[in-house]
A and B are shown apart, each in its own frame.
Chain A
Amino acid sequence: MLLELRSVERVFGGLRAVDGAGFALDAGEIRGLIGPNGAGKTTIINMISGLLRPTGGSIQLDGAPIDRLPPHRIAALGVTRTYQNIRLFPDLTAADNVLVGMHLVRRAPLWKRMAFLGEAAAEERASREAAMGLLSRVGLADRAAEKAQNLSYGEQRRVEIARALASGPRVLLLDEPTAGMNPVEVASIGELIREVARQGHSVLLVEHNVKLVMEICHRITVLNFGRVIADAAPAEVSKDPAVITAYLGSER
């Protein structure tokens, strides 16, 4: 068990956005997190990544609690994410966005750069090449020099994924990565996610595209009103009556 949530709770004023949710993520697993709008999926992602603190329960990575840690420490432990409403750095190029994602793995200290030591230049070159490599993986090598704000919606989502992969995370949290994409793009993202999992990264995939979730996820957690109403393999989830009534029924 790499990542584990136990009875996680998040209350906003009088609203219980997340109410005793629990599930686990194993190494190399692709877990889907689905549920109707407002079910608490993004809130859970925000809590895992440290932007919000749970008001109850615990979140553990490798057995150690991470729910009280600041976001940058959680990222340093190998948990990165994308955002439901895309949060790229608008004025930076696609390549630079990915380069920022590499922050945790870049090493050359600043003073070496000040002293023009070759090491620093070599490190920078290597980082930029790696960033380009990641952009190629998501099919955007030709758009590397374009400012993020000038990219199309689908392109921005792919850059965000590349950026999240840049530090080689153990756990990748994807918040609706295929929203607004056409079926061809969705299929290629699906393939990318499968490949990422094959390489040993774990993926928590929040999605509204139920077909994609059924196809690529090993297990699916279904959320409704902040509670887990199902947690099983795709085949069982699609047959679970509680899930069908709460969610899938309206989607079909």
Chain B
Amino acid sequence: MSLDALRDFYLTYQSVAAFIGLNGLLALSVYATLSCGQLSLANAGFMALGAYAAALLALHTSWSFPATLLAAALLPAIVAVPLGLPVLRLHGVFLAIATIGFGEVVRLGFVNWDFTNGAQGLVAIPQRAGLASIWLCLGLALFVFWRLKGSRPGMALESIREDEAAARTMGIDTTRYKLSMLALGAALAGVAGGLEAQYTFVVTPNGFSFGRVVDMLVYAVVGGTGSIFGPLIGAAFLTVLPEVLREVGPMVGLPPGPLRLFVNGTVLLLVILFLPNGIVSLPSRWREWRSSRRSARAAGAA
């Protein structure tokens, strides 16, 4: 293999790996609230806040790269609090709708703000993020979720997901926990935004539409929320899939854009119908299937 081919390989797959990392962070940001039973779809808005904050700091100040990421994490987290206090009182679908509304308001705000060039967005952002920084942040996020499992707050979150009222009668301040996870998710989405801005050197409001948060939700659902690795697995699967399709599409004579969307939708449908707990539930489903086959055979033989 020639040196050029190797270099091309690295360059192509480096960007896929980077986007797997970014999408993994985004999936974890949605997982944060899903893990305590809240369907919050505000994260495109939080991501936008982080992205623009980091981009503006990178373009107009001499703040260091880590400092811009910190700002990208903190701004959305702070905004999450006054948003969450009234909104987390809402149930299920209403919470989802209110948070979708928030995301759209943020996006429209940026579209209409001249300081950030409105719909054209910001360009030529210094390209300071790379594979290493992205995966470092992802690793940190996974570490936090890992340590959370089994801990006092971690168990409180699980109980809120299962039965919020019963959890309250056990002394758990459910509002505070839900708010914390909303803020954590916001911070993760913000960091992902800040990283993406300084990786792709462009930030436009249309990158933070409702479709974006739907993607995040899909990563988390397809991967499965039963394990902290679920969201990452979902993100990896759904980031690699379009790349594969891009090669396959022309061979089959189908345009890649619609094909990718079609496959995304179909994968999501199949998962929600047949594998509702996501890819990570495959091992236990397999085991269950095996043991039911075994007992069926035993019953048949008896």
**Chain A residues with a Cβ under 8 A of chain B:** 49-51, 70-72, 74-76, 80-81, 83, 87-92, 96, 99-101, 103-104, 106, 108, 110, 113-114, 120, 124, 163, 167
Contact = CB atoms under 8 A, between A and B. Distances in A.
Please name the 10 residue pairs, one residue from A and one from B, whose CB atoms are nearest each other, closest first.
Answer: A75-B171, A89-B162, A71-B168, A104-B171, A87-B166, A106-B152, A100-B159, A72-B173, A114-B147, A71-B169
Interface residues of B, number: 24
15 contacts: A50-B168, A51-B165, A51-B168, A75-B170, A80-B169, A87-B163, A91-B158, A96-B155, A100-B155, A100-B158, A103-B152, A103-B156, A104-B171, A110-B147, A114-B143
Q: Which of B151, B153, B158 has most chain A Cβ within 10 Å?
A: B151
A52 to B, nearest CB: 11
Which label, helix, strand, loop or mixed, suits the secondary structure of the B interface? helix
Interface in B267-289: none
A110 B177 CA distance: 13
B166 A103 contact: no
Interface in B222-275: none
A167 B169 contact: no
Given A71-B165, A83-B166, A167-B171, 6 more contacts: A72-B172, A87-B163, A92-B158, A92-B159, A100-B159, A167-B170
A90 B143 CA distance: 27
Contact of B168 (A72, A83, A113, A124): A72
B34 to A, nearest CB: 14
B148 interface: yes
B174 interface: yes
B169 A50 contact: yes
B159 A110 contact: no
A125 B169 CA distance: 24
A103 B169 contact: no
Contacts of B169: 49-51, 71-72, 74-75, 80-81
Contacts of B151: 110, 113, 120, 124
A63 to B, nearest CB: 21
B167 interface: yes
Contacts of A49: 169
Contact of A163 (B143, B158, B165, B170): B170
Contacts of A114: 143-144, 147
Given A89-B158, A92-B158, A101 B170 contact: yes
Contact of B166 (A89, A96, A104, A110): A89
B300 interface: no
B189 to A, nearest CB: 21
A99 B170 CA distance: 11
A108 B152 contact: yes
B86 interface: no
Nearest to A149: B162
Nearest to A96: B155
A73 to B, nearest CB: 8
B82 interface: no
A67 B155 CA distance: 27
Interface in B116-173: 143-144, 147-148, 150-153, 155-156, 158-159, 162-163, 165-173
Contacts of A88: 166
A171 to B, nearest CB: 12
Contacts of B143: 114
A114 B147 CA distance: 6
